[in-house]
Amino acid sequence: MIPLETNVLDGLGQVDARADRFTGVQVDSRRIVGGDLFVAVGDGAGFLDDAIRRGATATLVPDDAFRALAHIGRRVRERSSARIVGITGSMGKTSTKDILAALCAPSVRSIAAEASYNNEIGVPLTLCRLEQDTEVCILELAMRGFGQIAALAEVARPQVGVITNVGPVHLELVDSMAGVLRAKGELVDALPAGGTAVVPHDFPVTRKDIEVVRVNESGGEVADGRTTIGAVSFNFTARHQIQNAATALAVLDALGLPRPASVEVDFSRWRGEEEELPGGGLVINDSYNANPVSMRAALAYLVERAGERRRVAILGDMAELGRTAPAYHREVGEAAAELGVDELLAVGELARGYLDGGVPGRWAANVHEAALELDEVVRPGDAVLVKASRAMGLEAIAQTLMQIPTT
């Protein structure tokens, strides 16, 4: 991290400083290395001694954790000459971030947000990884309601704003698709004059003082376990990643960076991870998150990857859909039937709606009950998709599947 003087912490809370500057920021004491500042978020005050034992230069028990982290992140950002890319979208933002990071790595010194470090804690922590020689910083910006993206962008001050897509996500918080457009548009509004917005082909942008790059629907050639898009070979075959890669390539071009011939993308965990199951089966662990659009894409991918294998979908609730939730869950169930899913295990109260779509299946109230059903639902040689909103914790089902015997 670009070093900061400990006096920047004045007025933020209770400070215990052992030096006049710090060179890193952590909120997990287990990640502390010498020179770090430990910010005690939530119950973190109980780990101050552990942080000091691990070499923390200073500790901070903040009066307001979000305000403190924003202040620190803002100060690091002020001292950096890196170009900042902010990515948001209803789906695919983490994968787009991962792809862009892989594209940038061969030509510039870059950093990217870990996993889904995309909120009032994660964005400042990513900014605090900026070094003097960092040339590109790739951030992911979350949206839980109106004003959040604007607040994160005020801290990060991105020169390039990326909107991957707009879909029926967080409707419980913003009421309608118009609300989603408005909330995502906060990133475009936050760009400086002369900045660049990379947006879907139909996303409304009225500003005349920024460059607007529109990403059209993209096709890719899938062969031999790889996908080629714009003469760049990627190490994935999932067709729903093609548009994410096209968006990442548009950002790469906007940054003026060269396109590599071949890229190996290290995707964040639980986003389409594939593992062989005993008996020749396959599990697709896409349990990190879900919405109506990504659910259909994942089901289509299950059918594509299954080949001659039986197709099983283990689907949990899609969260934050508000009054539209029952209809969307039923529509996903209908999509499963249309695509040819053979059996469905629905997990969670809202997930009951999947079974109205016509696919034979059963229901479980939670992950624990679902695990008890697996012996009856999954057979040796099956192709299985596991997907739900993050709160459902369905990654535990994927782990259990790996242990199911072949007979």
In tens, the pLDDT along 42-60 reads: 999 999 999 999 999 999 9
Specify whether 328 is located in the same domain as 282: yes
| 166 and 295 together in one domain | no
Place of tokens 């299950």: 302
What is the model's pLDDT at position 407?
Answer: 44
Same domain, 58 and 91: no
126 and 244 together in one domain = yes
Domain CATH number, residue 87: 3.40.1190.10
Q: Which residue's structure tokens are 């229901």?
A: 363
Looking at the structure, tell me whether residues 304 and 374 fall in a common domain.
yes
Q: Looking at residues 95-111, what average pLDDT do you find?
A: 97
Structure confidence by residue, pLDDT tens digits, 354-387: 999 999 999 999 999 999 999 999 999 999 999 9
Most confident option among 268-272, 275-279, 300-304: 300-304
* Residue 192 DSSP code: P
Q: Domain check: are 389 and 304 in the same one? A: yes
- Tens of pLDDT, residues 14-39: 999 999 999 999 999 999 999 999 99
Per the domain annotation, does 217 fall within a domain? yes
**Of the candidates 263, 291, 316, which is a domain's last residue?**
263
| Inside any domain, residue 406 | no
What's the number of domains the chain is made of? 3
Residues 6+ apart with CB under 8 A from 208: none
Verify that 253 and 379 share a domain, yes or no. Answer: no
Evaluate whether residue 313 is within a structural domain: yes
Considering the domain boundaries, does residue 73 fall inside one? no
Indicate whether 84 and 183 sit together in one domain: yes
Q: Do 282 and 249 share a structural domain?
A: no
Q: Would 109 be classed as within a structural domain? A: yes
Domain that holds residue 259: 80-263
CATH number at residue 318: 3.90.190.20
Q: How confident is the model at residue 262 (pLDDT cuts 50, 70, 90)?
A: very high
Q: Angle CA(102)–CA(105)–CA(109) in degrees, nearest 5?
A: 145
Sole residue written with tokens 């951030």: 139
Record the pTM.
0.86
pLDDT of 406 reads 42
Whether 103 and 205 map to the same domain: the answer is yes
* CA nearest to 238, candidates 204, 216, 265: 265
Banded pLDDT at 404 (limits 50, 70, 90)? low
Instruction: Write down which residue in 228, 263, 298 finishes a domain.
Output: 263
CATH number of the domain bearing residue 20: 3.40.1390.10
Average pLDDT over residues 180-190: 95
Condensed to tens digits (0 to 9), the pLDDT of residues 63-79 reads: 999 999 999 999 999 99
* Nearest of 326, 312, 331, 314 to residue 383 by alpha carbon: 312
Q: Is residue 325 part of a domain?
A: yes
Residue 91 scores a pLDDT above 60: yes
Classify residue 59: in a domain, yes or no. Answer: yes
- For the segment 198-253, what is each residue's pLDDT rounded down to a tens digit? 999 999 999 999 999 999 988 899 999 899 999 999 999 888 899 999 999 999 99
Verify that 89 and 225 share a domain, yes or no.
yes
Instruction: Report whether 69 contacts 121 (CB < 8 A).
Output: yes
- pLDDT bin (cut points 50, 70, 90) of residue 405 is low
Cα–Cα distance measured from residue 51 to residue 54, given in angstroms and rounded to the nearest whole number: 5
Q: DSSP strand E in 21-165: where?
A: 21-22, 24-26, 36-39, 58-62, 83-88, 110-112, 136-140, 160-163
Across 108-131, average pLDDT? 96
The helix (run of H) or strand (run of E) holding residue 346 is strand 343-347
In a domain, 190, yes or no: yes
Please indicate, yes or no, whether residues 182 and 96 belong to a single structural domain of this protein. yes
Average pLDDT for residues 104-117, to the nearest whole number?
94
